[in-house]
Structure 1
Amino acid sequence: MAPLLSRTLDPLLGIFTGVFAYYLYENNPRIALPEDQRLGALVQWKLDRWRQERERKLTAGEPDVDLNAIRAAVEKE
């Protein structure tokens, strides 16, 4: 199947159409999405959750490892 406009313009047109359609979906007065279900709020929630998980892993992680001691042990063998 031949490209509609060109090989580079077709993907850009598709991305623009998708973003514009989602913008219209979020701002449609008939749907009236609650503020906590809009994309910005959902992305912020996901980032906060990711940061909390990362902090939990960093604080509960392994103690600092001395790489020089490991290197010396490997070289000794």
Structure 2
Amino acid sequence: MYIISRTMDPVLGVFTGLLAYRLYETHPRTAPPPGDTLSELIRWRWAKWQAQRENLKDESWDEIKKELEAK
């Protein structure tokens, strides 16, 4: 049994969940402190991941250069 239709029920569920989370983050009583919103946490994690990726890329290039120089 479906509420609306087979394809619209999941869409309605995702929309309702996103709307509820948006209201949770913007309501004055339940809003997280500044710096703890989902978008800020995602930006922080993305920047951290990018920095780790750059360090790994730099380290791997250094290892390749050392191997080539040793030969």
TM-score between both structures, scaled by the size of structure 2: 0.81
2:27 aligned counterpart, secondary structure:
coil
Q: Which has the larger radius of gyration?
A: 1
Aligned to 1:63: 64
Aligned to 1:6: 5
Aligned to 2:69: none
Structure number with the higher helix fraction is: 2
Deviations 1:36-56 (A, max 9, x none): 100110010010011011001
Deviations 1:17-59 (A, max 9, x none): 0000000100111123112100110010010011011001101
Give 1:41-60 correspondences, 5 Å limit.
Answer: 41-60=40-59
Count of residue pairs the alignment pairs up: 64
Q: What fraction of aligned residue pairs are identical, expressed as a percent?
A: 41
| Unaligned segments of structure 2, at least 5 residues | 66-71
Deviations 1:50-76 (A, max 9, x none): 101100110111416xxxxxxxxxxxx
- Determine the C-alpha separation between the residues in 1 that align with 2:35 and 2:28: 16
- Determine the C-alpha separation between the residues in 1 that align with 2:34 and 2:42: 12
1:52 aligned counterpart, secondary structure:
helix
What's the Cα RMSD here? 1.6
Aligned to 1:70: none
Q: Which runs of 4+ in 1 moved over 4 A?
A: none
